[in-house]
Amino acid sequence: MEKNGNNRKLRVCVATCNRADYSKLAPIMFGIKTEPEFFELDVVVLGSHLIDDYGNTYRMIEQDDFDINTRLHTIVRGEDEAAMVESVGLALVKLPDVLNRLKPDIMIVHGDRFDALALATSAALMNIRILHIEGGEVSGTIDDSIRHAITKLAHYHVCCTRSAEQHLISMCEDHDRILLAGCPSYDKLLSAKNKDYMSIIRMWLGDDVKSKDYIVALQHPVTTDIKHSIKMFELTLDALISFNKRTLVLFPNIDAGSKEMVRVMRKKGIEHHPNFRAVKHVPFDQFIQLVAHAGCMIGNSSCGVREVGAFGTPVINLGTRQIGRETGENVLHVRDADTQDKILQALHLQFGKQYPCSKIYGDGNAVPRILKFLKSIDLQEPLQKKFCFPPVKENISQDIDHILETLSALAVDLGGTNLRVAIVSMKGEIVKKYTQFNPKTYEERINLILQMCVEAAAEAVKLNCRILGVDNDGNCAALAERKFGQGKGLENFVTLITGTGIGGGIIHQHELIHGSSFCAAELGHLVVSLDGPDCSCGSHGCIEAYASGMALQREAKKLHDEDLLLVEGMSVPKDEAVGALHLIQAAKLGNAKAQSILRTAGTALGLGVVNILHTMNPSLVILSGVLASHYIHIVKDVIRQQALSSVQDVDVVVSDLVDPALLGAASMVLDYTTRRIY
């Protein structure tokens, strides 16, 4: 980036709220300080930096030889949710005077803390440009909401990973104002490991401790679930006591719930336990030496999933606080625990390992990129930031005709026996349906489909239905269940359609699976017997060859030709073709051979479902189509006999939708044409 056209130095205000954000901001501050011909640096200190219980960490800023222009006491004690809100309010009251006095050109704000939100809000309302460090990342708590809120207030963005950059673009931030620089702390991390570390280890953990033979623990409260995070902390301490290794425990941050966590530490005697060293603060230079040579780090600090990866030190990440972070292979996640056993097992798995060093968050050259980015900022550009929204094709929100119309889809079902066309409303109601027998030749089918669609479209005008599109898909039944049926709200389920043939659809993570060549979910052609009957696909022993309407019709004809189909109470007119329904009727009336054929067909279908359960492990299997109710009990029996115990509890149900294929075809159109992406 070229140097901007400003005629004076850029006045940069760096505001730091706690020990964690200072570790990221300090490298930038040092870089600014080395180029006095371009920059003037003002340092504002607030938050937990100024509290004795949290180590009075403002002193390390002074030790780094930075002049602190302003100290703002902004923390309201209480360490609960209300205290956090009051602290934001207090900062908002005090910051305007400071910013009026300093008059910075740009404010550098880091991360996702509540104090940082107060800084960004104040600067934005006072027309001061904001450079946000580490936007676009995902963690898993209220920090996400705060981080993204600061992103919306910020004018410029420095992100650490490619994913974070893409998130910022997806959030409609201007790509030209986003810098992918890497994490500034990595500039120090990647050059720090060769220093004299044993003296640091002995100072904090004792003279008898060796490299790779101790643990660093750092755990903070999760403000969206304080009670659970305190329980996790208690279990962590129990596991560490049982593990019996020297452990450096850092006090938690000032978030709501920290007071209760400190009480847990004192209740368990951690501060006086011979295996533990409990401290409020470790200078960052020394802290990185400690984690670089630890046998393991445990807790829920972002440092564990971000910075520690640079050394390949094993990490155990506890709970949900960092659940969305990108991590290296050195991180083992323990999402939840009811006892200390799971955490203890994780300690046994991780302690003492050495992983490859990870550079997900930086390559050690972030600061030069950031300084170059700062120099490129043109103060003559308009202050008002612009958002890069994707284009919206049509604005119809004030169209009275559209409001009065019934939004509908024209759905087409190319069945093996019948062609069906329907007008389907947004609510899944079939407004009008047309059914015709499926002609034998391709030309006749196409002509009939066109004729039926034209007729339906003309009728839609009379019914005041606005046709949004036409579609047809073999996975329609699954889509119908997802939108209108028993699959609504489920993340993973499978639908099997029993009709003239056997079809299906797979919903995985709420999305329809198409496969690499759009032929996924051909479930009717799962082979359940190597020497089974011929299938229309050219193979042998497919489910469809046993359980489809065509297969049952074939077996019914065989019985009828041998005079073994009809029983008392049955008759088949001479001009009527024998079909699957006759076989079913015969079975109901006690025909043992018909019953055996249906049982074999149902067993084949059941074996297919077992294979699906073992492969996909869905939470639900839905049988639809005219034969579903006749197969359901046999399928459940096969699952009980053949499936692994871990999937036997998966429910198998009969669809309660009428015409699921038509509803599914309609749902594709309605979902696609009415959605908006911002």
Task: Please state the length of the chain.
Answer: 678
**Residue-level pLDDT at 53:** 81
Q: Which long-range contacts (CB under 8 A, 24 or more apart) does 634-639 make?
A: 634/598, 634/599, 634/602, 634/603, 634/605, 634/606, 635/602, 635/605, 635/606, 635/609, 636/606, 637/606, 638/602, 638/603, 638/606, 638/607, 638/609, 638/610, 639/606, 639/609, 639/610, 639/613
Q: Where are the alpha helices (DSSP H) in 381-513?
A: 400-404, 442-462, 476-483
Residues annotated catalytic, as ranges:
473
State the Cα–Cα distance between residues 565 and 556, nearest whole angstrom.
Answer: 7
The secondary structure element, H or E, covering residue 302 is helix 302-305
Residue of higher predicted confidence among 72 and 577: 72
Is 107 a residue whose pLDDT tops 90? Answer: yes
Q: Integer distance in angstroms from the first to the last C-alpha of the chain? A: 30
**Residue-level pLDDT at 431:** 83
Residue of higher predicted confidence among 607 and 427: 607
Q: Mean per-residue pLDDT for 469-480?
A: 65
Q: What is the DSSP letter of 574?
A: T
**Residue-level pLDDT at 399:** 52
Residue of higher predicted confidence among 658 and 652: 652
Residue of higher predicted confidence among 249 and 520: 249
Q: Mean per-residue pLDDT for 406-432?
A: 76
What are the angstrom distances between the C-alpha of 516 and each of 508, 513, 520, 542? Answer: 15, 9, 8, 22
Residue 420, Cβ neighbours under 10 Å: how many? 21
Q: Mean per-residue pLDDT for 51-77?
A: 91
Instruction: Give the DSSP per-residue string, 121-173.
Output: HHHHHTT-EEEEESTT---SSHHHHHHHHHHHH-SEEEESSHHHHHHHHHTT-
Cα torsion angle, 223, 228, 234, 235, sign: negative
The vertex-505 CA angle with 499 and 507, nearest 5°, equals: 150
Contacts of 397 (CB under 8 A, 6+ apart): none
Q: What phi and psi, each to the nearest 5 degrees, are found at residue 60?
A: -70, -25
Q: What phi and psi, each to the nearest 5 degrees, are found at residue 400?
A: -65, -35
Q: Mean per-residue pLDDT for 138-143?
A: 83
For helices 341-350 and 226-243, give the axis angle rounded to 10 degrees. Answer: 60
**Residue-level pLDDT at 569:** 84
Strands (E), 489-603: 492-498, 502-508, 511-512
Beta bridge partners of 237: none
Is 405 a residue whose pLDDT tops 80? Answer: no
State the Cα–Cα distance between residues 439 and 449, nearest whole angstrom.
Answer: 10
Task: Extract the tokens encoding 302.
Answer: 């972002």
Q: Nearest to residue 357, comparing CAs of 291, 299, 301?
A: 291
Q: What phi and psi, each to the nearest 5 degrees, are found at residue 245?
A: -120, 150
Residues 601, 533: contact at Cβ < 8 Å? no
Phi-psi region of 569 (alpha: psi -120 to 50; beta: other; left: phi over 0): left
Is 498 a residue whose pLDDT tops 80? Answer: yes
Q: Give 148-175 pLDDT, tens digit per residue.
A: 999 999 999 999 999 999 999 999 999 9
- Whole-structure pTM value: 0.56
State the Cα–Cα distance between residues 137 and 134, nearest whole angstrom.
Answer: 7
Q: Give 349-362 pLDDT, tens digit per residue.
A: 999 999 998 888 98
Q: Give 262-277 pLDDT, tens digit per residue.
A: 999 999 999 999 999 9
